[in-house]
Amino acid sequence: MFYDAWLIAALWLLGVTADFFARGALGLNTDGADPVLQAYLLACPFVFYGWFWTHGGQTLGMRAWRLRLLDAQGNPVGWRQALIRVAAAHVSLLVFGLGYLWVLVDRDGLAWHDRLSRTLLVIVRKD
């Protein structure tokens, strides 16, 4: 998550910079809330994780730690599962990380967002 957070922050920075210059070039007010920018900032984590998880099951950070996301049957995840997992992971984090710490007491070692999205993380063997 830590590695991926840097990549998402870079996407946010690009979006904020592009928005600032576009609004300035168009003569729009650069102060205050911008609903288009807010939608972009909200969508970034969903698109980032969703795309990586549906295209190989690994984000760049997960590759570094040799982790892969699969569905409960061991198949690649689809967009629906990926989006549910991202949303549920935010909830897991917002309650002081309890959803993540749940892996310590769960009989299958799954976090809340894994349970809700019917996914699991597996360790990829080094070949």
This prediction has a pTM of 0.90
Write the burial class of residue 62 (CB in 10 Å: 0-12 exposed, 13-18 middle, 19+ buried): buried
Q: Structural domain tally of the chain? A: 1
What's the pLDDT at 114? Answer: 98
What's the pLDDT at 90? Answer: 96
- Give SS3 for 122: strand
- The rounded distance, in Å, linking the Cα atoms of 127 and 40 is 38
What's the pLDDT at 32? Answer: 67
What's the pLDDT at 26? Answer: 78
Q: Which two tokens stand for residue 92?
A: 């897991």
- The rounded distance, in Å, linking the Cα atoms of 102 and 97 is 9
- Give SS3 for 76: coil
Domain that residue 66 falls in: 2-123
Predicted confidence pLDDT, tens digits, the chain (127 residues): 899 999 999 999 999 999 988 887 877 776 667 898 999 999 999 999 999 999 999 999 999 999 999 999 999 999 999 999 999 999 999 999 999 999 999 999 999 999 999 999 999 998 7
